Structure 1
Amino acid sequence: MTTRTPHSPDTRKEGPVPTEGTPKDEHTASGDRTVSAPAAGRPAPAAGLTALVAWHAARTPQALAVADGDTTLTYAQLVSSARALAAHLREHGVRRGDSVALLMPRSARTVVAQLALWWAGAVCVPLDPAHPRSRSEALAADAGATLTVGDSKLLESAGLAGATLALPGEPLMGGGDIAGAELGPDATAFIMFTSGSTGRPKGVAVPHRAIAELVSDPAYLTLTSRDRVLFHSPMTFDASTFEVWGALANGAAVVVCTAERPSFEDLAQHVERHGVTVAFFTTALFHQLAGRRSRVFSLLRTVIVGGEALSTHHAREVLRAFPWLELVNGYGPTEATTFTTAHRVTDADCDGQMPIGRPIAGATVHLLDDTGKPVPDGERGELWIGGSRLAHGYTGQPQLTAECFSDHPGPGRLYRTGDLVSLRPDGTLDFHGRTDDQVKIRGFRIEPGEIEHALREQPEVADAAVTVHRPSPDDARLAAFVVASPGPVPRPDALRDRLTAVLPAHLVPDEVQFVDALPLTASGKVDRRALTDLVGAARPDAPAGPLNPLEQAVAEVWGRSLGRDVTRPDADFLALGGHSLLALAVTDDLREELGVELTLADFFAAPTVAGHAALVERALLAAHSDLRPGAPEDTDGH
């Protein structure tokens, strides 16, 4: 067993946490549950998140708990408001064990609502306001939601089938004691959905105990009651579990970024304005921020990243430019509650492959071969996860649950990740890819099969395959290859538009290309490696069109992010393989180089070179009104 020695917050800032001992054997390792001694009377993680938050409210009632720019709540106010809302929910029929869908934008009210659902005895099923209505309805149905609660305007515009309840616009206060309705530590806290290879998303049932153990007095990073943690992930993304409850389980404050799709500058301004000290970034976002030497790193003390392989080049640049920064590389699937392993990154780590670390907070890891036996020391094996933070399984999918979660002699119940890893002599793990087709892009776990299923549902599509195209080390794009049915062939952009009606944005391919047939391996399976060689092969660049000076400036900014020459005023950002993260990079460059702020909504409303040039021109004229034709002359003669 790998044992972490206790550390005070101050000593933990100096570098990686020292370890003692060796893994239990050469094939397994477990996260130590022994951390620094909790404060007297503090509930154990098994008591659950509601008990931890209530304890902090009793101990430091006036400490800041949640802030979103418009609203601030102390711990006393958070608990009072959540208990009052819980009573309100029970008056409207919410009962112990009910699954209740939550549809709200990020705000202080979101945190109150999650806590209230638990105090009412319910399971929280987060929905993303940006997802298509059909998907939200399907997820709520798969989770067995009896009710959807949330923001009145969102509920009205979503037009969801089934019962809905608009939550009060202002936090309720004066909540009573309804502890009798609380769920126990083994009850489900969240149902969070991940991509499914059959076309059906998988609802992962995460218990209260698992979240509480992950976030209670964590030894894998510095998080104290004096910290402020940024909450900017979608509620449907398991990182939000850490962002919200990591703060509240430790008496710290949650700082909510209310921008739906914050720009790089939005994030930096939010961190600066609210004194944020701890933040999670997807690895892809971290790479973009690192490549720009973002000032956000000068403001933070601790950054934890996860979702994809961490670039040693970017990690080293950040650590050398901001040597005080605590950078933690985290790894873990939703099925094992957000983070299974973690590694505090040093400059020396950047000389070779970046490790994903050791198991943390009650997790265990086991490296097994195809027969289920431990692999020899140093060899690659499939990673199976055990310990106390496993999910209950997949809601409504018992067969899939049995396939992925199984009992083993000795280690007990384990989750099969499909990830290939190896164990170093010092007990840290290295990641070596997948045993299947699953991919990670911009922090999201994606099963190509789910996208392929949606494509084959289109009448003009006979067959389809999806793979990942990497035009540069920092950019990963979903590329779809489609075999058309007999008859008229739809335009790629029209096919993408139809997919946006049934899939969330991160599952819509960045590039769609028609092919005569899908390449196959000798065994008759789709040859995904051969597919990557086809990207762009059947789509030569169109002849260059005339660009005016402003369009040329926009085209050059586009070209840097897209990794290709952009020569036409009617070039479409999405058709060229652009996506939301690259759009953030473009808007940041336009702000830096042309002094123009474009929102992502404006960006995607007119996603051509000419459209962006017109937006830039309009913004420049608005900022310098004296340059407009017919502007009144300065009467002072200046």
Structure 2
Amino acid sequence: MVFKQEELYSSNFSGLTMTARDAIEKIPGNLLPSEVEQPLSLWIAVRRDYPRNACVPSLVAQQAHEHPLAPAVVTAQTTLSYQELNRRANQLAHYLRAQGVYPGVPVGLYLERSPEMVVGLLAILKAGGAYLPLDPSYPHERVRFMLEDAQAPVLVTTSRLASQLEREAALPTQQRVYLDQDAARLAVQPTGEIEEQQATPDDLAYVIYTSGSTGRPKGVEVTHDSLLNLIFWHQRAFSVSAADRASQVTSPAFDATGWELWPYLTCGAAVYLPADELRFSAPALRDWLVEQAITIAFLPTPLAEHLIQLSWPRETALRFLLTGADTLHRYPQPGLPFTLVNNYGPTEATVVATSGPVPPVSEPLAEPPSIGWPIDNTSIYILDEALRPVPWGAPGELYIGGQGVARGYRGRPELTAERFLPDPFVQQPGGRMYRTGDQARFLPDGQIAFLGRLDNQVKIRGYRIELDEIATMLNQQPGITASVVVAHEERPGEKQLVAYVVTSPETQLTASQLRTALAKQLPDYMLPTIFVRLETLPLTAHGKIDREALPPPETGKILSAALETKEAGMAGPAPSPVREEAAAPTNAIEQQVAEVVCSLLGRPAIDVNANFFMLGGHSLLGAQLILRLTELFGVQISLHTLFTAPTVRQLAARIEQLLLERLATMSEQEAHSLLEQLQNS
């Protein structure tokens, strides 16, 4: 039986006009007749051609040839022209080729957000390799695992970052390219393009690691062809031109970084990198976007939700504020001078699979904004457990087919076969679809409503987290007999991770000990902010953990310090309340830290032993806290530190230790000046 029905849906921003086909040429034979008498939840991609005779490196080189002096990458301190960006990337690419980098070879890139990061990413592509971006804020053991698992023979970094990394992690044997120490060698490399054995659209462009439910992160392999589809859809949908100015704010290891770079650098636009202190403050970031005349910006959902609640000057150049990675809960207010666009897509679908503008509303709506329509050459299927299309409008699991589907997981053929399935709804040989684990349904106008996860995966700050990976790490700690981790959402869009643990009777664990142990293997966004001790985990009738029966972590009743007292046991499934006398600062450093925390949380005073996150802090406020303390004391503190030392007293002790280490390297006059400065601050 053939069932066809076509409708045309148009968005209110340029270029995104899509054709929805809620029926297919081939319907599985196991469908009952009653199930095909109504439209089915299938949107088969309509083919839209895009150039495939050139990959990212040649497209950037073309811009460098046509507009050599145009700005390509801009920071407060540096502007790289297209000519300079292309020249430096070519020199590094030739050097990488000499180290054995050819098409298909993964290359680790361990750099902070900077023009050098962009040069490094482009150079790896020019050499034919696939970049493996690594965030310097990640635990060093996790970075080591990714390099080893990806079998990356070359690492591009700096001597400073490498020395910090190797102090804590035994890295696999590999070639190192230090952008600072090897500067003289790089400077004498050819500045022209590598002509022989360039990457083709079928070759790998990058490998991005995501959280794994077994406790082992998995690397997603994405080809140039999938990346090109994203680039040309983006340029068409948002009318990108050389006159545009885009922002780059995300972590180097977040797949959205490529989305923030390549659609613009392949068409002559400029990419602006804000300073770190601006990335976590909505008002400061708004002012920067306005001052720099940014025309298109992507921001993770929590930050975007803050920005759309601010007042904006009418003269802003911003045309589109793109968001995604988390569930969007808010609609923009009428009068904003730009269009908010919600985007959805797992790493396995090359950043974005669906996209749509979010209409402004005067009154709050009960339903959250949709995730839009499929992008070019992308199919969306909503299926039941037997892989049959559900009726249009009914909930089911969301599957993604089409050009953006990744090659699979690096070195994980079993997992690849489990998540990347043959696409039964297209005639194309070798067509595959990715099983997302997300629940969704089609709305009457063809847009897609996101309904949540079907498993224990969550997203926090745009990062995909398998809660079972955290529990696996917890269960490896001595004395813990069972654990479960959940994402607790006190307010829409503000999630915190809560770990419930069962320990052996003789075990005396502290929350600080657990955080410190986990921090050696997990990035900060995966560290629980609250630990609750239970005698047993509640179970369902089928013997599975009953997450619905877990007691809520109520502020004021359950403290993250609960594990640090002998009275932290409980009777039944509820945790014991723990109450402590409020403690005041006992020295100047504690006093200054407490004042910064009070200012951020809007409190007149706090207990210096209270957990920052239990007082109402979250990751965005935490980033602001670390930036202020770094500026105040002049020492380098990482956001990771806040998760292992989340109280004023613990933070102050860390800062005091860093200050003592710094004083030991100073002359007597410099030390006296620093002490005087701290006393007067």
User: Which TM bucket (shorter chain)?
Assistant: 0.7 to 0.9
Give the secondary-structure state (helix, strand or coil) at the position aligned to 1:234. coil
Q: Which structure 2 residues correspond to residues 47-86 of structure 1 after superposition, within 5 A?
A: 47-86=54-93
* Residue deviations 1:35-63 (CA, integer Å, cap 9, x gap): 9xxxxxxx814632122222222332222
Alignment of 1:429-440 (within 5 A): 429-440=448-459
Write the distance in 2 (CA, Å) between the matches of 1:550 and 1:321.
40
Separation of aligned partners in 2, 1:134 and 1:486: 30
CA offset at residue 34 of structure 1?
Answer: 3.9
Kindly provide the CA deviation profile for residues 148-185 of structure 1, in whole angstroms up to 9, marking residues without a partner as x: 12122111221133224233346858522313232110
Is the alpha carbon distance of 1:468 and 1:297 closer, same or farther for their aligned partners in structure 2, counting shifts above 3 Å? farther
Q: Does 1:346 align with 2:362?
A: no
Q: Bigger CA drift: 471-480 or 549-558?
A: 549-558
Inter-partner Cα distance in structure 1 for 2:314 and 2:197: 42
Q: Which residue in the other structure is 1:39 paired with?
A: none
Q: 1:390 Cα shift?
A: 0.7
Matched, 1:543 2:586: no
The residue number in structure 2 matching 1:619 is none
Partner of 2:620: 581
> Compared with structure 1, are the counterparts of its residues 239 and 214 closer, same or farther at alpha carbon in structure 2 (3 Å cutoff)?
same
Tell me which amino acid in the other structure corresponds to 2:153.
T
Report the CA distance shift for 1:263/1:433 in structure 2 as closer, same or farther (over 3 A).
closer
Say which is worse superposed, 526-535 or 369-378, in terms of deviation: 526-535
The 2-side partners of 1:436 and 1:392 are apart by 23
The residue aligned with 1:226 is 243
Q: Which amino acid aligns with 1:330?
A: N
SS at match of 1:145: coil
2:359 matched to 1:361? no
CA pair 567-255 structure 1, distance change in 2 beyond 3 A: closer
* Aligned residues: CA RMSD: 3.6
Kept in 1: contact 2:111–2:157 (CA 8 A): yes
Aligned to 2:328: 310
Asked whether the equivalents of residues 469 and 532 of structure 1 are also in contact (C-alpha less than 8 Å), the reply is no
TM normalised by structure 2 equals: 0.79
Q: Offset of 1:191 from its aligned partner?
A: 0.6
Does 2:217 match 1:201?
yes
CA gap 1:231/1:558 in 2 versus in 1, 3 angstroms: closer
Structure-2 separation of matches of 1:500 and 1:295: 42
Q: Is the 8 A contact 2:19 2:46 kept in 1?
A: no
How much has 1:570 moved relative to structure 2? 2.9
Deviates more, 1:110-119 or 1:21-30: 21-30
Measure how far apart 1:560 and its partner are.
Answer: 5.5
**Alignment-mate amino acid for residue 538 of structure 1:** S
Q: Report Cα offsets for 1:74-120 as digits up to 9, x if no partner.
A: 22222222112111112233233221111111111111111111111
Asked whether the equivalents of residues 326 and 344 of structure 1 are also in contact (C-alpha less than 8 Å), the reply is: yes
Q: Deviations over 1:530-558 (max 9, x none)?
A: 22535535344433445899898666546
- 1:480 maps to which residue? 499
Alignment of 1:91-490 (within 5 A): 91-159=98-166, 160-169=171-180, 172=187, 175-216=191-232, 218=234, 219-259=236-276, 262-264=279-281, 267-268=285-286, 270-291=288-309, 300-312=318-330, 315-317=331-333, 320-322=334-336, 324-347=337-360, 351=365, 352-411=367-426, 412-490=431-509
Once the two structures are overlaid, the 10-residue window that deviates more, 268-277 or 428-437, is 268-277
Unmatched 5+ residue regions in structure 2?
Answer: 1-5, 25-39, 559-574, 656-672
Query: Once the 2 structures are TM-superposed, how far is the Cα of residue 597 of structure 1 from its aligned partner?
Result: 11
Shift of the 32–107 alpha-carbon distance from structure 1 to 2, 3 Å rule, reads farther
Q: Which deviates more from structure 2 when the two are superposed, residues 383-392 or residues 350-359? A: 350-359
Q: Name the stretch that deviates more: 294-303 or 48-57.
A: 294-303
Output the CA distance in 1 between the equivalents of 2:516 and 2:652: 24
SS of 1:468 mapped into structure 2? strand
What aligned pairs does 1:483-498 form with structure 2 within 5 A after superposition?
A: 483-498=502-517
1:266 Cα deviation (Å)?
Answer: 5.6
Q: Structure 1 residue 610: deviation in Å? A: 6.6
Q: 1:490 to 1:49 in 2, by over 3 A?
A: same
Alignment of 1:506 with 2:525, yes or no, is: yes
How many residues in Structure 1 have an aligned counterpart in Structure 2? 599
In structure 1, what residue type is equivalent to 2:611? D
**C-alpha separation between the residues in 1 aligned to 2:625 and 2:311?**
15
Distance 1:628 1:488 in 2: 42
Amino acid paired to 2:255:
D
Shift of 1:507: 1.1
Matched residues, percent identical?
34
Q: CA deviation at 1:413?
A: 0.9
TM-score, normalised by the number of residues in structure 1: 0.84
The Cα of 1:410 is off from its aligned counterpart by 2.7
Deviates more, 1:198-207 or 1:534-543: 534-543
Deviates more, 1:303-312 or 1:345-354: 345-354
Residue by residue over 1:555-612, the C-alpha shift from the partner in whole angstroms, topping out at 9 and shown as x without a partner, is 6546559xxx974233231565744323246689x99xxx989999388578545788
The residue that corresponds to 1:601 in the other structure is 637
